[in-house]
Homo-oligomer: A and B are copies of this chain.
Amino acid sequence: MKVYVAQQNHHIGNFDRNVGLIIDALGRAEASGADLAVFTELCVCGYPPRDFLEFDDFIRECEAAVERILPYTHHVAAIIGAPARNPDPRGKDLFNAAWVLHEGEVKAVVHKTLLPNYDVFDEYRYFEPATEWKVVPLLGHRIALTVCEDIWNLGDNPLYRICPMDELMHQSPDLMINISASPFDYDHDEDRKEVVRQNVLRYGLPMIYTNAVGSQTEIVFDGGSLAFDASGNLVRELAYFREDECLIDTDELTQPSAGPADVPASLLERDMRVRRIADPDSIIPYLTAPHNMAQVHSALILGIRDYFSKMGFAKAILGSSGGIDSAVTLALACEALGPENVRAVLMPSEFSSGHSVEDAVALSRNLANPYDIVPIRSVYDTFLETLAPIFGDLPFGLAEENLQSRSRGNLLMAIANKFGLILLNTSNKSELATGYGTLYGDMAGGLSVLGDVYKMQVYALAEHINRNGAIIPRHIITKAPSAELRPNQKDSDSLPDYALLDKVLFQYIEKRKGPREIISMGIDEALVRRVLRMVNANEYKRNQFCPIIRVSSKAFGVGRRVPIVGRYLG
C-alpha cells in the first residue's frame, strides 16, 4: 500500500482553507499513485478549537467539511481528523476522531481514548473517551489507527489506565497509523520520536505517524512526521516547522531491515528530558544549548509568521530600545515578515544613555528595516504637568518610571492603529516571571515573541542569530541590561544576576519545585523566597499579557493557571 503523508498547516475555524488544503493534497496523492493519504488530528477545523466545540453550529461546519472532502476519496482513501458526535445520551457530546474515507464514503470513525488534560490541553472539557477499539480493515491491510495521545501510554504513564494499542493488538493489525497534533517545545521532538519507536518495538509493527505543523495563537506545532519500520528503524522523517509531504510504500516498512534498532533504556514519561535535569548546574547549559536555540529560533519565526498571516496582517511595529530583548525580537520579526514590513520606533528619554539610539540605529541598518526616532520628553513632561496638582511635591518614583514606559506604549499603539500594524512585545520570560515590566507600557503588544525565552536564552539566541556574521551589534549583547527609566538604572538594581535568577525560575516554573526543594539545591534561601514571591505576586500582570509563543514545556499563558488573589508563597 502506498501512503501519502500530508503534514499541513491548518487554521482554526477556517473551514474553506482547511478543506482546500486537504483536497489539494488528495489530488497530489492520487497523481503520485497513492492508495491512502493520511492527515493530522482535527485537521478539518484546526487544533485546538477550544470552546468553538461547544457550538453545535461549529460541529455542523466540521461535518459539512467532511462531506466536502468525501467526493475526492473515490480513488485514494483518506484518514482525516474531525470531531464526531456521541450518539449515546450518556457521556459528553463529542469524540475526538480519526475518520477513514474511501470510495466517497465514511468507512470507519475511530475515537480517541487518552484525552490530554494538562498544560495547554483541555480535551476532557469537550470529549468523551473511547471505550471500544476496532482495527480498521482497509485496502487489504488491518490498521491499528489511533489519535495522538493514544500512543503515549505503554502501561507506564500514570495519567492513564488504558493502553489503546494493547486493546487493538488482540485483533492482529499489520500497520499502526497515528494522527497527531503534538506541540513543539525544545527537545520534545526527541521524546516524540522515542515514543513512536517504543510503540514499534513493543508491538513489532511498522508505524506511520503524522503531526500537524503551524502555529495556532501561542501553540507551535512543529511537524516532523515519522515512519518507522517494524524493527524500530526510522525510515522517513518529514520537515520540521514547515508543511511537507511524502509517499511511503508500506512494503519498505515491513521488509527485513539491518536488524532491530537499539532499545533505549529510558521509560516513557512526560517532559522526560526536563525531568532528567537533576543537577541545578546543568540548567543554564541545557537552556542555552545550540541545538535548543536553533529549534527555538525556528519556532519563533513560525509563530510570528502564522500569527500575522492567520490574523490577516502583514506588518509589525515594535519599540527598539538598543537593548538585547528588542534587538532579538526585531531580528526575528524581520526574518519572519521581511524587514520592509517591520517598523522599529526608537523612543529615547532623558534617561536613555547615548549609545541606546546609536545601537538601535546600527541594528536597523544591519537589518535594513524602516525606523523612526520619536523622543518622549515632551509627552512625559506634559503628563507630569497635568498630574502636578495631584502629585504635588512627592518624590520621583515608580509612577514616573511607569509613565515613561506607558508613554512609549501609547505612541506605539497610536502608530500601529494609524497604519494597521500589530505591536510585537519584546519582554522576556525572566522579566515576565518577576513582574519587571510595566502593564500597558513595555508589556503592551499583540504577540509576545520572547515571553517564553529566559534572559540567558535571549543572549544565546542573539549569538545564534549572529552565527553567520554580526546582525545584532556586539555592544547590544555585551552592555549591562537596563530599563533606562531613571538615572543610571541597571536591571541588577532590582533583580538577581540572570544566570542565578533563571536557574531558580526554571526549577519553580518548569519543574514545579517549591522553596524547600530549591533551597536544598544550595541556592541562597532569602534569594529563593524573594524570587518565588515575585513570581506569585505578579500573576495579575501576566494575566493581562498578550499570547506568548510557546517554546518550553511550561510557558506563561493558557498552559499555566494560577490564582491571582492567591497568597501562596506571597
Q: Indicate if the CB atoms of B398 and A417 lie closer than 8 Å.
A: yes
Please measure, in the bound complex, the distance between the C-alpha atom of A123 and the C-alpha atom of B25, giving whole angstroms.
40
Chain A's interface size range is 35 or more
Please measure, in the bound complex, the distance between the C-alpha atom of A444 and the C-alpha atom of B413, giving whole angstroms.
14
Q: Indicate if the CB atoms of B49 and A563 lie closer than 8 Å.
A: yes
Which residues of B have CB within 8 Å of A216? 563, 565
Q: Indicate if the CB atoms of B92 and A158 lie closer than 8 Å.
A: yes
Looking at the assembled complex, report how far the CB atom of A337 sits from the nearest CB atom of chain B, in whole angstroms. Answer: 16
Looking at the assembled complex, report how far the CB atom of A405 sits from the nearest CB atom of chain B, in whole angstroms. Answer: 10
* Residues in A481-535 with C-beta less than 8 Å from chain B: 512-517
Which residues of B have CB within 8 Å of A400? 414
Which residues of B have CB within 8 Å of A60? 514
Chosen A-B contacts, 8 in total, with CB atoms closer than 8 Å, are A12-B567, A46-B566, A52-B566, A54-B512, A57-B516, A307-B565, A378-B385, A410-B440
Give which listed residue, B48, B58, B91, B386, contacts A411 with CB less than 8 A. Answer: B386
Which residues of B have CB within 8 Å of A444? 439-440
Q: Indicate if the CB atoms of B399 and A513 lie closer than 8 Å.
A: no
Q: Does A169 contact B (CB under 8 A)?
A: no
* Residues in A1-27 with C-beta less than 8 Å from chain B: 11-14, 17
Q: Interface 1/0s, chain A 290-304, versus B by CB < 8 A?
A: 000000000000000
Q: Does A547 contact B (CB under 8 A)?
A: yes
* Residues in A536-563 with C-beta less than 8 Å from chain B: 540, 543-547, 558, 560-563
Nearest CB in chain B to that of A50: its residue: B561
Contact A562:B50 (CB < 8 A) given known A386-B376, A568-B12:
yes
Please measure, in the bound complex, the distance between the C-alpha atom of A56 and the C-alpha atom of B558, giving whole angstroms.
21
Q: Does A172 contact B (CB under 8 A)?
A: no
Q: Beyond A311-B540, A390-B418, A397-B417, list 15 extra A-B contacts (CB 8 Å).
A: A11-B566, A14-B567, A48-B563, A55-B568, A56-B517, A58-B514, A61-B568, A117-B125, A122-B122, A311-B565, A378-B386, A379-B383, A391-B418, A406-B440, A543-B546
Looking at the assembled complex, report how far the CB atom of A211 sits from the nearest CB atom of chain B, in whole angstroms. Answer: 19
Contact A514:B56 (CB < 8 A) given known A158-B89, A440-B440:
yes
Give which listed residue, B57, B159, B387, B562, contacts A52 with CB less than 8 A. Answer: B562
Q: Indicate if the CB atoms of A417 and B402 lie closer than 8 Å.
A: yes
Looking at the assembled complex, report how far the CB atom of A270 sits from the nearest CB atom of chain B, in whole angstroms. Answer: 12
Give which listed residue, B49, B418, B446, B565, contacts A12 with CB less than 8 A. Answer: B565
Looking at the assembled complex, report how far the CB atom of A5 sits from the nearest CB atom of chain B, in whole angstroms. Answer: 25
Pairs A-B, 9 closest by C-beta atoms: A57-B514, A13-B568, A399-B417, A14-B567, A399-B418, A440-B440, A12-B566, A382-B382, A13-B566
